[in-house]
Amino acid sequence: MGERGREGFRGEVREMHEAVCAYCHKTTKVPFKPDGIRPVYCKECYQMRKSRRIK
């Protein structure tokens, strides 16, 4: 299911995995294999959640 994607730390190409955002339910790609236990968020929802924690 994974595919090669964007560059990661030290310039190596990271394997990207498909996941479904726990908030908006859109399909997204993440640089780790989701474990099915912890929620995964798309970039937009992750940024929204991150900004809410700061306030």
- What pLDDT is stored for residue 12 in this prediction? 77
- Residue reference for tokens 């937009």: 44
| Residue 49 reports pLDDT greater than 80 | yes
Can you give the chain as a three-state secondary structure string? CCEEEEECHHHCEEEEEEEECCCCCCEEEECCCCCCCCCCCCHHHHHHHHHHHHC
The pTM of this model reads 0.70
- What pLDDT is stored for residue 11 in this prediction? 72
Per residue in 4-38, pLDDT tens? 555 666 777 889 999 999 999 999 999 999 999 99
